[in-house]
């Protein structure tokens, strides 16, 4: 695929994501006065089971806004009709051929990130997926792998396995613990991750969710299924480079340590595509 088309794809996808985030934030504002802060962390504004917000002010007076997206695991009513309408070709427009369609698992943001990475893997950037399934090319669905149940059962069990989203012991040739083994209890859980105090955490590698810090309790009061994303209250762009210099006191780390977009950057760079990321961050 030509670089020009790749850039166009990235632009369209991020416009859609940005629009969705904006809609969440607008609807959230009217609820903030009615819903108390999240239990255990007064810094976090609990908007709904699927969205929490944290705000702070940078030294120059700029507002920094963090949004934790946390699902939902199941699509809302009418989503199937919307999905079918979205793939119907329209005059002067088209659809993205061979674009992955993955089921929810581990976190909606990690699923979205893996779908983009899976598209790349099928189109010229073949280092995104490193497993052996489908001849080493990332499948367009997650039906190649078995399902699994949460250690603490929840109403959304069973979940699919997808090693590009989250690694799992016994799946896709893996013989050691992975993302799901180390970080997952049950949907929405804020408890310390299973590995903490019990065994050594696995090393990041093949799963984009690891880099995005999805479902990891050690990063910003993260819940199972959640991922943090940050932006500025002004019209200025919050770049990945800027995230590296912003020390976020409420969480005791730099924004780049736990932010989902920065994690996508890290994943792509780990896959050897630094030049591509430099053009989109």
Residue 46 has a pLDDT of: 82
Residue 50 has a pLDDT of: 86
Q: How many Cβ atoms sit within 10 Å of the Cβ of residue 252?
A: 9
Residue 227 has a pLDDT of: 96
| pLDDT tens track for 1-45 | 444 444 444 443 443 444 334 333 333 333 223 333 333 454 788
**pLDDT at position 134 over 80:** yes
Q: d(Cα 193, Cα 85) in Å, to the nearest integer?
A: 39
| pLDDT tens track for 217-242 | 999 878 999 999 999 998 788 999 99
Q: d(Cα 124, Cα 271) in Å, to the nearest integer?
A: 13
- Percentage of the chain surpassing pLDDT 70? 75
Which distant-in-sequence residues (6+ apart) come within 8 Å of 154 by Cβ?
Answer: 186, 187, 188
Q: How many Cβ atoms sit within 10 Å of the Cβ of residue 87?
A: 10
Residue 280 has a pLDDT of: 46
| pLDDT tens track for 250-264 | 889 999 999 999 999
Q: How far apart are the first and last CA of the chain?
A: 20
**pLDDT at position 64 over 50:** yes
Q: Annotate 236-247 with DSSP letters as a single string.
A: S---HHHHTT-E
The dihedral region occupied by 240, where left means phi > 0, alpha psi between -120 and 50, and beta the remainder, is alpha
- Cα angle at 39 between 38 and 42, to 5 degrees? 60
Domain ranges, ordered by start, for the chain: 3-278
């Amino acid at each position: 695929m030509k670089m020009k088309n790749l850039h166009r794809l990235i632009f369209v996808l991020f416009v859609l994501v940005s629009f969705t985030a904006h809609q969440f934030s607008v609807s959230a504002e009217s609820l903030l006065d009615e819903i108390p802060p999240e239990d255990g962390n007064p810094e976090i504004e609990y908007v709904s089971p699927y969205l929490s917000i944290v705000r702070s002010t940078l030294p120059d007076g700029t507002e920094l806004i963090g949004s934790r997206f946390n699902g939902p695991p199941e699509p809302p009513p009418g989503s199937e009709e919307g999905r079918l309408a979205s793939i119907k070709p329209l005059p002067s427009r088209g659809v993205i051929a061979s674009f992955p369609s993955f089921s929810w698992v581990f976190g909606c943001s990690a699923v979205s990130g893996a779908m983009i990475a899976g598209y790349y893997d099928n189109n010229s950037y073949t280092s995104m997926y490193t497993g052996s399934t489908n001849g080493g090319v990332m499948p367009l669905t997650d039906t190649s792998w078995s399902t699994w149940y949460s250690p603490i059962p929840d109403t959304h069990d069973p979940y699919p396995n997808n090693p590009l989203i989250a690694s799992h012991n016994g799946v896709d040739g893996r013989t050691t613990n992975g993302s799901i083994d180390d970080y997952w209890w049950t949907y929405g859980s804020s408890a310390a991750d299973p590995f903490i105090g019990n065994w050594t955490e696995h090393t990041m590698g093949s799963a984009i969710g690891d880099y995005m810090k999805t479902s990891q309790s050690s990063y910003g009061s993260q819940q199972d299924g959640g991922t943090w994303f940050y932006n500025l209250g002004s019209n200025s762009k919050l770049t990945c480079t800027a995230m590296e210099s912003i020390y976020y006191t409420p969480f005791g780390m730099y924004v780049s340590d736990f932010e989902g977009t920065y994690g996508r950057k890290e994943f792509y760079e780990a896959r050897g595509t630094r030049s591509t990321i430099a053009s989109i961050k």
